[in-house]
Amino acid sequence: MIIVNTGNGKGKTTAAIGQIIRSLGQGFKVCLIQLFKGESFYGEQKILTALNNLDFYSYASEHPYCVKGVSVKEAANNCKPAMDKIKELALSEKQYDLIVLEEFNIALRDKFIEENEFIELVKEISKKSNVIVTGRGAPESLTDIADLVTEMKEIKHPYNKGAQACKGIEF
Amino acid sequence: MIIVNTGNGKGKTTAAIGQIIRSLGQGFKVCLIQLFKGESFYGEQKILTALNNLDFYSYASEHPYCVKGVSVKEAANNCKPAMDKIKELALSEKQYDLIVLEEFNIALRDKFIEENEFIELVKEISKKSNVIVTGRGAPESLTDIADLVTEMKEIKHPYNKGAQACKGIEF
ipTM of the complex: 0.92
pLDDT over 90 at A15, yes or no: yes
Per-residue model confidence (pLDDT) at position B40: 82
Q: For the structural domain made of B21-161, what CATH number should be given?
A: 3.40.50.300
What was the pLDDT predicted at A165? 87
User: Of B1, B43, B153, which is closest to A150 when you measure between CB atoms?
Assistant: B153
Confidence at A19, pLDDT banded by 50, 70, 90? very high
Asked if the Cβ–Cβ distance from A148 to B157 is below 8 Å, we say yes
Contact between residue A99 and residue A129 where contact means Cβ atoms under 8 Å apart = yes
Reduced to 3 states (helix: H, G, I; strand: E, B; else coil), residue A170 is: coil
Q: CB-hemisphere CA count at 13 Å for B90?
A: 16
pLDDT bin (cut points 50, 70, 90) of residue B165 is confident
Q: Lowest-pLDDT range, A17-26, A43-52, A67-76, B27-36? A: A67-76
pLDDT-derived band at B41, boundaries 50, 70, 90:
confident
Strand partners, A31: A55, A99
Contacts of B147 in chain A (CB under 8 A): 156, 158, 163
pLDDT at A162: 81
Distance from CA of B73 to the nearest CA of A (A): 31
Distance of CA A26 to the CA centre of its chain: 21
pLDDT score, position A96 = 98
pTM value surpassing 0.95: no
The arithmetic mean of pLDDT across residues A142-160, rounded, is 94
- Give A82's strand partners: none
Residues A133 and A142: beta-carbon distance below 8 Å: yes
Query: Mind telling me how many Å the CA of A56 is from chain B's nearest CA?
Result: 15
pLDDT-based confidence at A64, cuts 50/70/90? confident
Residue-wise pLDDT tens digits, B75-129? 999 999 999 999 999 999 889 999 999 999 999 999 999 999 999 999 999 999 9
Q: Name which CATH class applies to A14-161.
A: alpha beta
A16 alpha carbon, distance to own chain's centre: 8
